[in-house]
Chains A and B, each alone.
Chain A
Amino acid sequence: MTQISKTKIKPALLVLNDGSVFEGEAIGAGSSEISEPVISKGEVVFHTGLSGYQEIITDPSYAGQIITFTTPHIGNYGTTNLDNEASKVFARGVIVRELARRRSNWRSDDSLDSFLKQNNLAGIAGIDTRRLTRLLRDSGSMPGAFGTASQEELAKVAKSEKGTAGKDLVAQVTTTKSYIYGSGKFTVVAYDFGIKTTMLKCLAEFATVHVVPASTTAEQVTALSPNGIFLSNGPGDPEMVYDAPATIRELLGTGVPLFGICLGHQLLALALGGKTYKLPFGHHGANHPVRNIATKSVEITSQNHNFCVDADSLATKADVTHINLNDNTNEGLRVRGANAFSVQYHPEAGPGPHDSRYLFSQFVEMMDRK
């Protein structure tokens, strides 16, 4: 198992777009003694969940982002192929306070450090992640660069790095070819905007899932005669996923039940003519309270998004079904006069609480009624 002794420590720096500097040490890809100086760059965000680092790192929604873990000890229970949310890592880097030297869990088959190296993902450890989080909270998510290069070089890169707004990151993460996942009673077409494996697992409990690329047209979908259509999560700015809103609008017309999560939720809103906007530092965590307006009950939810639906912009087109109790932002909608609903948060969890898995049953009921 991995041992990092003092002598092997490779000092590294994190520099933010605003010039803030954090001292740490290199971990993961490029951290071995012989590695050339490396620079990782991207939009720096923070995740406040206590567990599930592997699922987070492999979540395609983090494409273009550097993930800060507020939980100080990361890597304690190692990694296992069972917990990957995608076969490839799209995140740009990880920032931790303390990387475990030793993993301990019956499920694990590798250490996080080795996992990072295998996935060619660099990280930085020893960072005052609380200072970083407070800064991002107050100034908003911002671009940054880290690595073993000099401070000047890192600062230059951080300065020139743009955020995730205005970029079509979905194109980078969506599947190039359609494929089938699981086998179940229903046929569901799932748009892969960056779909997580846990979502597929949840859908496969009742459906044969045809996973299709983001660019798939409405005709291609209807040709599969689906019982339901699923819009997945995905990275970045929904307004950059050019064709999707139009396609979704078309699909809504077919009357096939439709369920969207996260980016899928935002795209559905755009399809209805609604607007989205960027939150200052997003929601990334596993403890966000969401009210289900119909039942008045509170769900503790898993969240990972920087953009948000402007509920007022939906006006007559949809009803708000869920709201975030921390900041009253929109968390869910149901389209008026159509079999379509979506949520901003992650009912599939992976990682996070399972309080909202009932939404998948709701999707099943919708398909049953049809």
Chain B
Amino acid sequence: MPRREDIKSILVLGSGPIVIGQACEFDYSGTQACRVLRQEGYRVILANSNPATIMTDPDFADRTYIEPLTPEFIEKIIEREKPDAVLPTLGGQTALNLAMTLFERGKVGVPGTPELIGANALAINTAEDRGKFKEAMIEIGLSVPRSGIAHTAEQADEILKEIKLPVIIRPAYILGGKGTGIANTLEEFNTVVANGLAASPISEILIETSIVGWKEYELEVMRDKNDNCVVICSIENIDAMGVHTGDSMTVAPAMTLSDIEYQKMRNAAFACIRRVGVETGGSNVQFAVNPINGDQVVIEMNPRVSRSSALASKATGFPIAKIAAKLAVGYTLDEISNDITKMTPASFEPTIDYVVTKIPRWAFEKFPGTSGVLGTQMQSVGEAMAIGRTFTESLQKALRSLEIGRLGLNCDPGEEIFNDSSDAQLLDKIAIPTPDRIFEIGECLRRKISIEEIAKFCKFDTWFLDQMLSIIEEREYLESQSLEELSVSDWKRVKRLGFSDTQLGYLFKRTEHDVRATRLKRGVRPTYKAVDTCSAEFAAQTPYHYSTYEDESELHSSTKQSVIILGSGPNRIGQGIEFDYCCVHASFALRDAGFQTIMLNCNPETVSTDYDTSDKLYFEPLTYEDVMNVIEAEQLISGSNPRIIVGLGGQTPLKLATQLPKELIAGTTSESIDIAEDREKWSALCVSLNILQPPGGTARDVEQAVEIANKIGYPVLVRPSYVLGGRAMQIVHDETHLRKAMQEMSTAGSLGREGGLSAQRPVLIDRFLEDATEVDVDAIRDSTGEVLIGGVMEHVEQAGVHSGDSACTIPPVSLSNAMVLEIEDTVKKISEALKVVGLINVQFAIADKTVYVIEANPRASRTVPFVAKATGVPLAKVASRVMLGSTLEQLRSEGLLKKPVSGSHVSVKEAVLPFNRFADVDTALGPEMRSTGEVMGIDDSFARAFAKSQFAAGTTLPESGLVFVSLNDRDKLGGVDVVKGLTSLGLKIVATVGTADFLKSHGCEVSRVVGKFSERKSGSNTGDDAVKLIESGDIALVINTPRGYGTRNDGEAIRKAANTCRVSVVTTLSAATAAVQGMIEQRNRPFTVMSLQEFHAR
């Protein structure tokens, strides 16, 4: 029986902002779901607060609500739209938790309310409640680790009497393992229990016998309403139990399980999904296996699609989310056809004839104070996946896909840091899981430390270690050869082990160019195989390819003009889903315009790497070698030149632009890109155009930096060139700190490892404009010179906070029309001078009514999707067409380019920061970007839109209670209005002596004065202080503006305490002002919801 006819409209819940543990995999799954449900003729209503997603594009749903994902707002959407059903299993833990809350409130899943499809409340509860889940598993005869449930520290102590240390502690209802930890000692036990109880929204933790060191597996399972179950993919973790699976290197399919063991696991996974009661859809079941005797235990199950199911979909070609959506509306697996073969049904188990390796990417360098040690709580911000015919090939491809400066499994300059370590030191290091461990293990192997010895320390399965050893042994062989002497069979063997040309260049002390030329002379080129779900048993219709060095290639040609779109690689802070949005939109627009679109990317979480987003997909690393190989393969197969888009995937493709054939690059030329990136050329251009810049200069060493700073005056903004997201960017107020900042960028600092300071990578020193307002503009220029201003965004936080971390608004709220016109005019002048064809983003700072240009980037910016949602103009689509030669005029007549909607609503973008993952980090915002995601609020005024953005970002704006206020001197005067606003709303103010005195003298009411935290530490204050009040739960909101240097200690302690105790903190006066306006609005008139389609139609 096909689809359900009793349902007409479905509310799909998205996953909100990108956070650690919940990234663009849910945009991928949600986009698939929305597309397929609409194809099936359902009315789709989507709720998601994240404007950077593809799913929130108004084309993907009948009604798109970019509203906060809180129960209150979802209830309003349900009231307004009256959907027949709610689908909560494709929006990650956020959607699932939301569904549970709505169920508890009687708003879904009970008679008279929308039905929960995909998974019902009972199933969600059985899977998510650790106690119930364990009971259920024991009931069906599956083994689980010995454990107990605690709601208090006392209960935890009781459980510890039954179970011996070491134990693992997992909070209930959390995502990405937040608050999870391992305790080996009683002291650790107490800490982890406290953290776990705090992390769980229901204060519940599971204390479990530790099975650290066991092998870890995951099975991706699907079930339909006829109880047909299939395993889509098995995944084996290379890192043993103890490292969160999101932080583990993983391989698909499982490599070291015999069929007997695998079938046992498969049977257990089916028993699990059936017992939990997931009626339809995908689930992920995790197992641990004792390597000594094969004992299997069930660890957990996710009754929804997950990060792993996105990985499994990309690894096999089987679209789990799409199928899950169809199953949710009543189809059975055998009624759905396999998209890839077209001739066989979806009721089968994919089998693959290649190996997939996934490696996470972390951002510890952005969070000083974190240990960088991996554990049961996920900390990575992105991941790269690679496909090879063998594990070795896929491992090395995945390592170079990460873009962390490593070329593969060592054999690169990065390995030289091991020179100073003894064997014993290295072995000690590999006992601790860190992002560098894989490279350390490679070095141990090179030193001929035995596999058994290495396994003892790192707990990797010896099969994986032996595979890695084969890479190391090949390296030894290569070191005895010369580049020119390598035979064709040598080349083939080396390439089949995944070696990159750059690694060979390092080993032979030759340039990559030499290596490539020598290889091509030998006729050694990659072949491209297809991902087909069936190991070639049936002919694949879908051109999803990966490179490998084999006999036969399977590429097909097309008569259409090809466009290769270079994606943005693994997510990282500063380069994430926004760029995937741009690439995907380009692909859609160009496909519609008759081009053959070809996507090249290595991020398994994304929509861009879905096999039907583009006409052709290459799942490949974004390195010169791999990109050139694809370009040449396309030239060979079609006999014509493809065009290449480098301007939509962020820094990753842009950095490659100069090396790629110039004539193939679509849009803005690499020369223009270079002018904008090169400080001296850029300054000269500004001078010639009469555009003001803050005074500054370029320093290649510390002394030059000091000299420049002395000339222009402090404070100065220090930023390395060619970095992303304000990496290592700092504002310094004196020479001491300038020298320290420069040190960080030299080889000794963390940035040093990413390339360091050199004539090629100088540091930019600019006068920092204090209290300046920052403005961002996205624009498109076409080849006729017409410039379209996409949006002018005014930042809420003042200059000095990285643009990616600050809130911004369209339209601007405090700029005069004349100033906006001046800004727009400057953008036009710059676009013209740079001969931009495509997108450009220009950043401005306005100080004392003077407009300064900070920088211009002739490429897609992070704000493109936000601007598109705010104005209704599909900027990325328009830009991609312009890059391929269309004029804005043509696109207007085609109907693609519409007039922007404006005037009747305000859109605010707010950043979402991952501080709850990093307890020991200062939450004050600065010039280094640290946000992982963003949310958007839309309403009819700035204050209301801002308030919505705060709700969406998870900031609570309390209606009563105590607000702790501590302001730096600059902000004190401006703070008076904030405080008056708060007290008028009935909130009570607590402040430290200095702030309190100032506020009182300006007519503010201060209810309570507390001492300084630093005085408590020194013993001079035994009374209350802010930290104490926060810790005791008395504070509802903290407003704390940092002071720069000096008396930072108190503020830092306050912010950390608030972070730990989950009290919202506002760290800038401008945000505080906006927040108070929002709170007043909230009091005056209840919030309403409205869809993007309606906003755009107004």
Binding site for B on A (CB under 8 A): 5-6, 22-23, 46, 48-52, 54-55, 70-73, 76-77, 80, 82-83, 97-98, 100-108, 128-131, 133-134, 137, 285-289, 291, 296-298, 300, 325-326, 349-354
Q: What are the 8 tightest A-B residue pairs by CB atom distance, in nearest-first order? A: A52-B259, A351-B259, A102-B466, A70-B535, A104-B463, A131-B552, A128-B551, A287-B349
Stretch at the interface among B50-58, B289-297, B412-420, B499-507: B289-297
- Nearest B residue to A138 via CB reads B539
Hey, what's the 0/1 contact readout for B331-360 against A, CB within 8 Å counting as 1?
Answer: 011100000000111011111111100000
A352 CA / B230 CA spacing, docked (Å): 13
- Interface of B, helix, strand, loop or mixed by DSSP: loop
Chain B residues, Cβ within 8 Å of A130:
353, 389, 529, 535-536, 550, 552
- Indicate whether A128 sits within 8 Å of B550 (C-beta atoms), given known contacts A134-B536, A286-B351, A352-B263: yes
- 19 new A-B pairs (CB below 8 Å) besides A48-B351, A100-B466, A134-B552? A51-B258, A71-B352, A73-B390, A76-B256, A98-B389, A102-B451, A103-B463, A107-B261, A107-B294, A130-B389, A131-B551, A285-B535, A287-B348, A298-B332, A298-B347, A300-B349, A325-B344, A326-B348, A326-B538
B477 within 8 A of partner (CB): yes
Contact check: which of A73, A100, A102, A297 meets B355 at CB < 8 Å? A73
A144 CA / B535 CA spacing, docked (Å): 21
Contact check: which of A70, A102, A296, A354 meets B462 at CB < 8 Å? A102
A88 CA / B286 CA spacing, docked (Å): 38
B1053 within 8 A of partner (CB): no
A362 CA / B461 CA spacing, docked (Å): 41
Q: Are A285 and B294 in contact (CB under 8 A)?
A: no
B534 within 8 A of partner (CB): yes
- Nearest B residue to A357 via CB reads B267
- Nearest B residue to A296 via CB reads B226
Q: List 16 A-B contacts (CB under 8 A).
A: A5-B473, A46-B537, A50-B253, A51-B257, A70-B537, A77-B256, A130-B535, A137-B539, A287-B349, A289-B344, A298-B334, A300-B347, A326-B538, A349-B263, A351-B259, A352-B263
Chain B residues, Cβ within 8 Å of A296:
226
Q: Are A72 and B353 in contact (CB under 8 A)?
A: yes
Q: Are A354 and B348 in contact (CB under 8 A)?
A: no
**B256, B343, B550: residue with the most chain A Cβ atoms closer than 10 Å:** B256
Interface residues of B in 435-484 (CB under 8 A from A): 451, 461-463, 466, 470, 473, 477
Q: Are B552 and A101 in contact (CB under 8 A)?
A: no
Chain B residues, Cβ within 8 Å of A100:
463, 466
Q: How far is the CB of A352 from chain B (nearest CB, A)?
A: 7
Chain A residues, Cβ within 8 Å of B333:
298
Q: Are A288 and B348 in contact (CB under 8 A)?
A: yes
Q: Are B334 and A133 in contact (CB under 8 A)?
A: no
Hey, what's the 0/1 contact readout for B160-185 against A, CB within 8 Å counting as 1?
Answer: 00000000000000000000000000
B255 within 8 A of partner (CB): yes
Q: Are A287 and B350 in contact (CB under 8 A)?
A: yes
Chain B residues, Cβ within 8 Å of A23:
551
- Interface of A, helix, strand, loop or mixed by DSSP: loop
Chain B residues, Cβ within 8 Å of A101:
466, 470
B593 within 8 A of partner (CB): no
- Indicate whether A106 sits within 8 Å of B266 (C-beta atoms), given known contacts A51-B259, A98-B390, A137-B539: no
Q: How far is the CB of A32 from chain B (nearest CB, A)?
A: 20
A20 CA / B258 CA spacing, docked (Å): 33
Interface residues of B in 291-346 (CB under 8 A from A): 291-294, 332-334, 343-345
B227 within 8 A of partner (CB): yes
A133 CA / B350 CA spacing, docked (Å): 16
Q: Are B351 and A70 in contact (CB under 8 A)?
A: yes
A98 CA / B550 CA spacing, docked (Å): 12
Q: Are A6 and B345 in contact (CB under 8 A)?
A: no
Chain A residues, Cβ within 8 Å of B461:
104
Q: How far is the CB of A298 from chain B (nearest CB, A)?
A: 4
Q: How far is the CB of B779 from chain A (nearest CB, A)?
A: 48
Hey, what's the 0/1 contact readout for B207-248 against A, CB within 8 Å counting as 1?
Answer: 000000000000000000011101000100000000000000
B722 within 8 A of partner (CB): no
Chain A residues, Cβ within 8 Å of B350:
287
- Indicate whether A22 sits within 8 Å of B551 (C-beta atoms), given known contacts A72-B355, A107-B294: yes
Q: Are B551 and A297 in contact (CB under 8 A)?
A: no
- Nearest B residue to A291 via CB reads B334
Chain B residues, Cβ within 8 Å of A107:
258, 260-261, 294
B391 within 8 A of partner (CB): yes
Interface residues of B in 581-637 (CB under 8 A from A): none
Chain B residues, Cβ within 8 Å of A108:
258
Chain B residues, Cβ within 8 Å of A83:
258-260
Q: Are A354 and B347 in contact (CB under 8 A)?
A: no
Chain A residues, Cβ within 8 Å of B352:
50, 71
- Nearest A residue to B455 via CB reads A104
Binding site for A on B (CB under 8 A): 226-228, 230, 234, 253-263, 266-267, 291-294, 332-334, 343-345, 347-355, 389-391, 451, 461-463, 466, 470, 473, 477, 493, 529, 534-539, 550-552, 554
Q: Are A353 and B347 in contact (CB under 8 A)?
A: no
Chain A residues, Cβ within 8 Å of B351:
48-50, 70-71, 285-287
- Indicate whether A105 sits within 8 Å of B258 (C-beta atoms), given known contacts A71-B535, A100-B463, A131-B550: yes
- Nearest A residue to B474 via CB reads A6
Chain A residues, Cβ within 8 Å of B261:
105, 107
Q: Are A51 and B262 in contact (CB under 8 A)?
A: yes
- Nearest A residue to B549 via CB reads A128
Q: Are A326 and B536 in contact (CB under 8 A)?
A: no
Q: How far is the CB of B348 from chain A (nearest CB, A)?
A: 5
Q: Are A77 and B355 in contact (CB under 8 A)?
A: no
- Indicate whether A71 sits within 8 Å of B259 (C-beta atoms), given known contacts A128-B552, A296-B226: no
A133 CA / B539 CA spacing, docked (Å): 11
A128 CA / B528 CA spacing, docked (Å): 12
Q: Are B353 and A106 in contact (CB under 8 A)?
A: no
A48 CA / B234 CA spacing, docked (Å): 15
Q: Are A106 and B294 in contact (CB under 8 A)?
A: yes
Q: Are A289 and B258 in contact (CB under 8 A)?
A: no
Q: Are B345 and A137 in contact (CB under 8 A)?
A: no
- Nearest B residue to A77 via CB reads B258
- Indicate whether A285 sits within 8 Å of B537 (C-beta atoms), given known contacts A55-B259, A296-B226, A298-B347: yes
- Indicate whether A289 sits within 8 Å of B334 (C-beta atoms), given known contacts A105-B258, A106-B292: yes
A105 CA / B461 CA spacing, docked (Å): 9
Chain A residues, Cβ within 8 Å of B349:
286-287, 300, 353
A62 CA / B463 CA spacing, docked (Å): 29
Chain B residues, Cβ within 8 Å of A300:
230, 347-349
- Nearest A residue to B551 via CB reads A128
Q: Are B256 and A354 in contact (CB under 8 A)?
A: no
Chain B residues, Cβ within 8 Å of A133:
353, 535-537
A22 CA / B552 CA spacing, docked (Å): 11
Contact check: which of A51, A131, A137 meets B537 at CB < 8 Å? A137
A83 CA / B391 CA spacing, docked (Å): 25
Chain A residues, Cβ within 8 Å of B260:
82-83, 107
- Nearest B residue to A80 via CB reads B258
A82 CA / B354 CA spacing, docked (Å): 28
A22 CA / B234 CA spacing, docked (Å): 30
- Indicate whether A97 sits within 8 Å of B348 (C-beta atoms), given known contacts A105-B256, A137-B539: no
Q: How far is the CB of B650 from chain A (nearest CB, A)?
A: 33
Q: Are B345 and A289 in contact (CB under 8 A)?
A: yes
Q: How far is the CB of A125 from chain B (nearest CB, A)?
A: 11
A330 CA / B348 CA spacing, docked (Å): 17
A1 CA / B708 CA spacing, docked (Å): 64
Q: Are B390 and A72 in contact (CB under 8 A)?
A: yes
Q: How far is the CB of B59 from chain A (nearest CB, A)?
A: 34
Chain A residues, Cβ within 8 Å of B353:
48, 70-72, 97, 129-130, 133
A244 CA / B924 CA spacing, docked (Å): 84
Chain B residues, Cβ within 8 Å of A289:
334, 344-345, 347-348
**B226, B258, B291, B347: residue with the most chain A Cβ atoms closer than 10 Å:** B258
A129 CA / B389 CA spacing, docked (Å): 10
Chain B residues, Cβ within 8 Å of A353:
263, 266, 349
